[in-house]
Structure 1
């Protein structure tokens, strides 16, 4: 049986230039029909196809995405060297750096939220439509009447881009440069984190940075997830490099807090960072001492940024509106949609989507607690014997980062909403900690095909079949452990 991806197995040189060709084709697709300010909203694949240049746009997008995904996938076991991985990821990013926004119109939402704040209006209380943003027509309709769901750090960055940009084009360019700065920070941290976790740096850098999701959505799309990842990985690196040292732990906590004030999802790794913060034996007292310093830096960052921005904690309320979109790409939402479809067949309206989402969030909380408790037990037991101290020092980052990666993956899977760029959260951490890559690289490769250049999401045109397929997949993965054959009991030992 042929292994997955064998059909696109390429040598390093062929992969490098196939990916570059793909990036160039995606840039052409963006120029022809990307998420430009004047692009029509509410487009469908059919309307794009019938528009002038539509077939060329879709053709360049499909071939370009396939080339990028195939090139990335073919070297998922690792690039020839870390330097080669950096150079290739950067080469692929160059065309996308000058492309129009691709795959999403969120950058225009950022611009309007920054404009709102720069003009003295609270973006957590007043939606961009009511604030009178002059670029409102570029914002996707679903986000025009919702408060900003991002923390004060990113609102301040967006306002800075508006102030210095002098117009929409300048603002978008600066927002893209801010995203690239976040990626560069993440790139600087990846090798040291990979070495601490015992993973080849050439593989970690390749999986985390060369994925098409980074080039299309974080570079060309200028998503603020890039800033969150940069701060998050930097905070984790400081913890791992300087456990038990007060100044470093306060700094690490501040960096993680800043990541959380860009996107709150970054905060799920904090309990695992607290485990990495402990120096010496793992006791409750040591955890409270070192983890408390980390938490102190985090809380200080949250309070200082919230207060200095003048926005307070209003951003917390904005998080509730991030789930306004209902797409089957989120497993909990898909399950709720299927229950609603089943209810409609018998004349009822169960309104199951909110219930399924709430249940998934409760499940997520339980999973995070279990993951943390397991990591704590592993580390505590490894310090139970005095002569294991050296082994524990080497094991701490692997266990803590592994728990953080699994926690972030669970957060992505169980969130009420999934967009393709959300996969980069888990991908960056899983690339640092996981030996087998197919189980998370394959979904990331598939997610690269979900968004058209103008931001149209293909998932919304297959809502019912997509929800059924996703629900079937959830049931299969949930029941698979129960159906797995059990090993026969060992025969009794002979006496």
Structure 2
């Protein structure tokens, strides 16, 4: 397939990635970089203007090149080669966009030295690299599961120092990206979507190179295990051994990062055959529980990591919609001479709403799954793909697509309603939506915008735009709510015959 402008997009993106790598060396999240800086102080620092210029131009080139081919690359091979080219400069760059990799290193050091990272924060444990960790996380317990803590400890033991540990943590992240790349073509075939579109959207996205590869976030490993578990379930639907293995892989994903758990109910539908939903669910749940209990017992850490999740919302930024609404309520209260302290309330309400949304999404997905099983159609066609239930797409493929689409929407809901949002969170639903969504703009646009939210050293621009950002986010939420209500009202009015 010939795509006009594809060569230009490839090399523009490569130049952008190279400029971002340069920005990393000039002012990235280096171990000795100053903390709690502002954009103004970065500008005044030696090499500051060059750092910001490389970051801004590089991000714009990378985002623009990815956006220009969001309908699909010329071929699947072309997408893989281009994504690999873009990743090369970022693979050898210093940590970009976040200091989380140093938190991972200290958490691994803590466990490797016989201290429970769920009970003792890295500062109290005596990690020799604690000064590289962002201050907000120095006194917080580890929020990650036992499998990731074990892997982080292994990188500490094998790395022999901070640099070696960071390199090995990046190797883990790249392994997660490669596992995602391995699963995508097979999942794309299973749902009738061209690999050239799914691979391009999921692998060439700027957040993947900057935050999963250069930033070495453990989200990459979670995603790789998640897609691998879904692939095993999809390839052998209804088979007990396959479902058991799928459950184990999903359980491992959860024990890296707990947010993966929202996909599990949809994985049951992806791995079910005909009307074997409950039996398939039992086998998959067995593998999942086995992975959770086994990893907790193997590491000797138990389930202390669940308590660490409560501290993940210590950071308050308007990029989280519930937090933004809480800010606006507090601002309105201040005008009336009151202090509502609304942020904790809006966050709890959002989590309650998330539970309701996840149940509703599963119910809707199950109904679509049943219609596909009966051959009466399902989801609208993805670009370049077939419609569920249309000619050439089997009932099994339609069921699979419905389940994966529901899983992607569940991850979207989790990202939107969580107490905190960081740009790399937008990568969670990216691969599943690239495989199943009929339209791409609604999820590709937020990914493009999120790429501009953090500077190379991890400085989050949301910190310096608190009031206007909160107001803008709240207005956007109200607009989307009113627009969606209007769409549903129009559909209802057209579906009712006139008297």
- With normalisation by structure 2, the TM-score equals 0.94
Contact 1:10 1:74 in 2 (8 A): no
Matched residue SS, 1:486? helix
Change (3 A) 1:457 1:244: same
Instruction: Please state if 1:38 is matched with 2:23.
Output: no
Give the whole-Å Cα distance in 2 for the aligned partners of 1:491 and 1:243. 39
The CA deviation at 1:250 is 0.5
- Choose 390-399 or 266-275, whichever is displaced more: 390-399
User: Number of residue pairs matched?
Assistant: 482
Instruction: Please state if 1:304 is matched with 2:308.
Output: no
Residue number in structure 2 paired with 1:243 = 237
Instruction: Please state if 1:455 is matched with 2:445.
Output: no
Contact 2:373 2:396 in 1 (8 A): no
- Choose 367-376 or 39-48, whichever is displaced more: 367-376
Instruction: Please state if 1:331 is matched with 2:311.
Output: no
Question: Which of these residues, 174, 180, 196, is aligned with residue 186 of structure 1?
Answer: 180
Instruction: Please state if 1:360 is matched with 2:360.
Output: no
Change (3 A) 1:45 1:377: same
Contact 1:27 1:100 in 2 (8 A): yes
The CA deviation at 1:301 is 0.2
Residue number in structure 2 paired with 1:69 = 63
Change (3 A) 1:327 1:493: closer
Give the whole-Å Cα distance in 2 for the aligned partners of 1:149 and 1:371. 27
Unmatched segments (≥5 aa) in structure 2: 377-388
Matched residue SS, 1:188? helix
Residue number in structure 2 paired with 1:293 = 283
Instruction: Please state if 1:113 is matched with 2:107.
Output: yes
Residue number in structure 1 paired with 2:383 = none
- Choose 91-100 or 373-382, whichever is displaced more: 373-382
Question: Which of these residues, 152, 161, 168, is aligned with residue 162 of structure 2?
Answer: 168
Give the whole-Å Cα distance in 1 for the aligned partners of 2:412 and 2:90. 27
The CA deviation at 1:383 is 4.1
Give the whole-Å Cα distance in 1 for the aligned partners of 2:482 and 2:225. 38
Change (3 A) 1:53 1:244: same
Contact 1:10 1:71 in 2 (8 A): no
Change (3 A) 1:489 1:311: closer
RMSD: 2.0
- Choose 36-45 or 340-349, whichever is displaced more: 340-349
Residue number in structure 1 paired with 2:379 = none
- Choose 292-301 or 357-366, whichever is displaced more: 357-366
The CA deviation at 1:377 is 1.9
Q: How do 1:54-453 and structure 2 match up within 5 A? A: 54-280=48-274, 282=275, 286-383=276-373, 391-453=394-456
1:21-52: CA deviation from partner (whole Å, max 9, x where unpaired) = 00110011000000000100011100000000
Give the whole-Å Cα distance in 1 for the aligned partners of 2:336 and 2:496. 54
Give the whole-Å Cα distance in 2 for the aligned partners of 1:492 and 1:82. 46
Give the whole-Å Cα distance in 1 for the aligned partners of 2:135 and 2:83. 34
Change (3 A) 1:41 1:385: closer
The CA deviation at 1:393 is 1.7
Give the whole-Å Cα distance in 2 for the aligned partners of 1:252 and 1:125. 31
Matched residue SS, 2:429? helix
1:314-340: CA deviation from partner (whole Å, max 9, x where unpaired) = 001001100000000000110011101
Change (3 A) 1:376 1:344: same
Contact 2:320 2:421 in 1 (8 A): yes
Matched residue SS, 2:315? coil
The CA deviation at 1:482 is 3.1
